[in-house]
A and B are shown apart, each in its own frame.
Chain A
Amino acid sequence: MTRQSTLKIAVAAGVLVGLGVTASAHHSGAMFDPEKTITLKGVVKEFEYTNPHSWLWVTVTNDDKTMTDWGFEAEGPSTLFRAGIKKGDLKPGDKVTVTGRPMRDGRPAAAWVNVIKEDGRVLQPRAAPVTTTAPVTPAPTTPPGGI
């Protein structure tokens, strides 16, 4: 991968508070490294608002002026919608800063943790997608006799 210092890639060891691991409904998230985060600035190329996962493609300009398309995976449309992320929120040409958990094999993709738009709006796929009746009484540890 091309060195991208001007893009302020930040790979941090350890799990950051508030950055959840992708709750993948379709496949294991083991191809992403939960111990690392990466933050990139770029321009939206395409927002695939699809099941079972959505993909946000961001074109990033590298130090040597070459460009790389980075993919950020998140949940499908129903989950994104419930987290306040609509299909039209990320249009081609939008400038964004994206944080994710990178792939272990070094390819330019990551699990989408959050996106910060130019106007400061933060898009988090797993930001309380639904509200439930709270508090939920924990299930009993021992079921009552004889179901």
Chain B
Amino acid sequence: MSTGKNAACIGAALVILSVLLASGAPAQEYRNSTEHFEALKRAAQGSTKLTWDKLPDWTGVWTRAPGIGLKFDPAQPSLQQTTAQLAPEFARKHKEKLERVAKGIEWDPISNCIPPGYPRWLTEPFLREFALRPEQTLLINEMVNDIRRIYTDGRGHTPEDEAYPLWNGDSIGFWDGDSLVVHTTQLMGGQYQRSQPDYTDHVETVERWRKVNDNIIEAEVTIYDPPSLVKPWRVVQRYARVTTPGIRIRSWVCEENANNEVFQTKEGATEHVLPGPGAGPIMKNKTDK
């Protein structure tokens, strides 16, 4: 091989290497979410320092792209078929859950009005808004007025001795050009969605949020949860711009009506208390007891 060809080959290899470094290597090559996040940060040369005038424009009202229903991964073939590679125990639990649901036996933890928590947050219904500031980004979902706060001011995670599990975890991030890269830890266990697998309180994620075009905001998410996942689970969530004229995001409080009080039966099903018409606010009823 001539010297010129050698130089061309080396040049091509360097280009490929630089592309890989810039985009980060595939998630499964990282041992954990921290290693993944730190590699992306190095590839972004720390971060892009954004000022108010340089922030991307994510204004508007958004909702999860229609037609996905309760599927956690929009790419999964059906509600029952997950794309997660589950550890045997969690695969068995998921299969049992689906068998119970088929018989009408289902209990959703949020029936008691606890928040859905993250990463389930990614799939919850209704409207979304993304509020960008140089030092933090608020990812807002209408249901239960659910806000994720992503610090982009360079701070690290809450120290271990001060940390405790949170519904939406502890999120830090940085801007890589127009993309927001987020690392979330210190989460609670839960389920990805109804009829979807469970995750444990070891779950951590790395996300890359970006505006694909004027009408789509996309989050590429890699989920790390070694107890439940054989390998990290990578999914792409998309949110579509809502074009309904004059639409407003509304306050969404879960406990407003005694007729919405449900309980879990001995066999694990969901049942209404159902006091009937005139029951009034649920808190009034509780006080009266």
Q: Using a CB–CB distance below 8 Å, which chain A residues touch chain B?
A: 23, 25-28, 30-31, 33, 45-46, 48, 50-53, 55, 57, 69, 71, 73, 76-79, 81-82, 103-105, 107, 109, 130-134, 136-147
In the complex with contacts A30-B269, A105-B271, A147-B220, A141-B247 CB distance below 8 A: no
* In the assembled complex, B257 has its CB within 8 A of some CB on chain A: yes
**Smallest CB gap from A27: residue in B:** B111
Q: Among the listed A33, A78, A147, which residue makes an inter-chain contact with B27, where contact means beta carbons less than 8 Å apart?
A: A147
- CB pair A131–B244 under 8 Å, yes or no, is yes
Instruction: Say which one of B4-12, B156-164, B165-173, B229-237 lies at the interface with A.
Output: B229-237
Q: Given A28-B108, A79-B126, A82-B244, A136–B274 Cβ distance below 8 Å? A: no
- Taking the nearest CB of chain B, how far is it from the CB of A31, in angstroms? 5
CA distance A27 to B260 in the complex (A): 9
The smallest beta-carbon distance between A1 and chain B, in angstroms, is 14
CB-nearest residue of chain A to B260: A53
Q: Do B208 and A147 touch across chains, with their CB atoms under 8 A apart?
A: yes
Interface Cβ pair total, 8 Å cutoff: 168
A28-B257 CB under 8 A given contacts A136-B240, A139-B74, A147-B208: no
Give every chain B residue within 8 A of A133 (Cβ-Cβ).
Answer: 214-216, 240-241, 243
Closest to B234 in A: A143
Q: Which of A28, A69, A103, A143 contacts B277 (CB 8 A)?
A: A69
**What is the bound-complex CA distance between A71 and B276, given in angstroms?**
7
Residues of chain B with a CB closer than 8 A to A139's CB: 65, 74-75, 218, 236-238
Q: Does B272 lie at the interface of the complex (its beta carbon under 8 Å from any beta carbon of A)?
A: yes
Does chain A have a CB within 8 A of B204? no
Interface of A is mostly: loop
B206 near A71 with CB under 8 A, answer no
Q: In the complex the two chains form, is B271's CB within 8 Å of A145's CB?
A: no
Q: CA–CA, A25 to B234, complex, Å?
A: 25
Q: 15 A-B residue contacts at CB 8 Å? A: A26-B260, A28-B111, A51-B257, A52-B256, A53-B257, A55-B259, A55-B277, A57-B276, A57-B277, A78-B142, A131-B243, A139-B65, A142-B75, A144-B23, A146-B23
Chain A's closest residue to B256 (CB) is A50
- Least CB separation from A105: chain B residue: B271
Is B84 part of the contact surface with A, judged by Cβ < 8 Å? Answer: no
Which of chain B's residues has its CB closest to A92's CB? B277
Task: For residue B48, give the distance in angstroms from its CB to the closest CB of chain A.
Answer: 16
Contacts of A50 in B (CB 8 A): 256-257, 260
Distance between Cα atoms of A68 and B83 in the complex (Å): 47
Chain A residue nearest in CB terms to B252 = A51
5 interchain residue pairs of minimum CB distance: A146-B24, A133-B215, A57-B277, A146-B23, A147-B220
A59 closest partner in B (C-beta): B277
* B24–A147 CB distance below 8 A: yes
B127 close to A (CB within 8 Å) = yes
- Cβ-based interface call for B175 (8 A): no
A144 to B125, CA, bound (A): 26
Which single residue of chain A is at the shortest CB-CB distance from B111? A27
Query: Which chain A residue lies CB-closest to B277?
Result: A57
Flag if B259 contacts A71 (CB, 8 Å). yes
B242 contacts A by Cβ under 8 Å: yes
Closest-CB distance, A80 to chain B (whole angstroms): 11
* A146→B25 contact, CB < 8 A: yes
> Of B63, B101, B254, which contacts A130 at CB under 8 A?
B63
B27, B74, B215, B253: which contacts A138 (Cβ < 8 A)?
B74
Flag whether B110 is at the interface (Cβ < 8 A): yes
Do A28 and B194 touch (CB < 8 A)? yes
Query: Is the C-beta of B107 less than 8 angstroms from some C-beta in chain A?
Result: yes
Chain B's nearest CB lies how many Å from the CB of A12?
18
Given contacts A26-B113, A132-B215, A132-B241, list 16 more A-B pairs with CB under 8 A: A25-B143, A31-B272, A48-B259, A51-B260, A52-B113, A53-B257, A76-B252, A77-B250, A78-B252, A130-B63, A130-B247, A131-B242, A133-B214, A139-B75, A146-B26, A147-B220
